[in-house]
């Protein structure tokens, strides 16, 4: 409980620090909103030209887009410290983190809370709301739980990716690009239905970086496209893969911190 209270304090201090630069904050938030909105307009343009993608309609794709974008915006705002982690290693800030009586992961998590991501978040929520409003979904209580669960699973997954890129930094700073490919490439590709892609690509985003489990599969269930039996059950449970992925990356983080202790930066 003490940790949660301290985390909220970190967040409030971080937000206050960012609000010292009010104009910059407002401009960045608006820019991010417009940028992501333009991205969505490109999607709309494709549908305007072709009518549908395979058997997916625009509102259906907007559901995929909304889930993954809300999840990504949350992950960008909350565990932002891992995203900028190379900076901490280079500047020696990580040493200072180790000098404080809290776990290193907790401190990096609390180090930065990016309020300006509210630009992406609000755009993503708008798209998601539009999709839900447009689609003739047969809502059940279970589906109403699955949607936020998918978003939560997605936020965990992206947080895991940010942690993973930070872990890589303990060994080499340059290779972060490889993880970034999965993160940013994942957001982009996850906005479209998985069935559009080649099999190896589908396998990668199902089994290696399980992005499909946090939007494609749950969306299938919500849209009533999933079958029954084992496959259907797995689709219901799929957001758990995001949480498992985060736990896995968290374990790797511990290995990384131990490695840092024996090598320094």
- Residues forming the site for other proteins (CB under 8 A): 2, 5-6, 9-10, 13, 16-18, 20, 91-93, 95-96, 98-103, 172, 174-175, 177, 261-264
In angstroms, what is the minimal distance from the CB of 171 to other proteins?
8
Beta bridge partners of 53: 56
CA distance 211 to 140: 24
In angstroms, what is the minimal distance from the CB of 13 to other proteins?
6
In angstroms, what is the minimal distance from the CB of 113 to other proteins?
13
CA distance 137 to 140: 9
Q: Which is nearer to other proteins, 9 or 48 (CB)?
A: 9
Q: Which is nearer to other proteins, 16 or 225 (CB)?
A: 16
CA distance 36 to 212: 21
Q: Which is nearer to other proteins, 133 or 262 (CB)?
A: 262
CA distance 69 to 155: 9
Cα radius of gyration rounded to whole Å, the chain: 19
In angstroms, what is the minimal distance from the CB of 6 to other proteins?
5
In angstroms, what is the minimal distance from the CB of 168 to other proteins?
10
Residue carrying the six token digits 């509210």: 118
Q: Which is nearer to other proteins, 25 or 130 (CB)?
A: 25
Q: Which is nearer to other proteins, 131 or 166 (CB)?
A: 166
| Nearest by Cα to 31 from 129, 118, 130, 113 | 118
| Torsion angle (degrees, nearest 10) of CA 175, 176, 179, 183 | -150
């Amino acid at each position: 409980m003490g940790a949660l209270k301290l985390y909220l304090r970190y967040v409030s201090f971080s937000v206050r620090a960012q609000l010292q630069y009010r104009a910059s904050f407002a401009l960045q938030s608006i820019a991010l909103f417009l940028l992501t909105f333009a991205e969505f307009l490109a999607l709309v343009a494709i549908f305007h030209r072709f009518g549908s993608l395979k058997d997916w309609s625009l509102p259906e794709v907007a559901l995929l887009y909304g889930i993954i974008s809300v999840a990504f915006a949350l992950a960008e705002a909350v565990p932002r410290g891992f995203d900028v982690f190379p900076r901490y290693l280079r500047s020696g800030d990580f040493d200072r983190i180790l000098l404080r009586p809290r776990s290193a992961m907790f401190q990096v998590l609390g180090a930065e809370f990016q309020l300006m991501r509210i630009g992406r978040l609000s755009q993503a929520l708008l798209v998601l709301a539009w999709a839900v409003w447009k689609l003739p979904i047969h809502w059940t209580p279970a589906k109403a739980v699955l949607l936020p669960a998918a978003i939560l699973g997605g936020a965990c997954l992206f947080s895991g990716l940010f942690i993973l890129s930070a872990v890589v930094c303990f060994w080499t700073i340059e290779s972060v690009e490889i993880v970034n490919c999965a993160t940013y490439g994942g957001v982009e590709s996850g906005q479209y239905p998985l069935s559009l892609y080649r099999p190896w690509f589908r396998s990668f985003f199902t089994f290696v970086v399980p992005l499909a489990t946090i939007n494609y599969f749950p969306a299938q269930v919500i849209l009533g496209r999933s079958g029954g039996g084992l496959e259907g059950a797995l689709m219901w449970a799929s957001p758990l893969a995001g949480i498992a992925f985060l736990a896995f990356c968290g374990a790797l983080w511990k290995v990384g911190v131990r490695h840092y202790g024996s090598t320094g930066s």
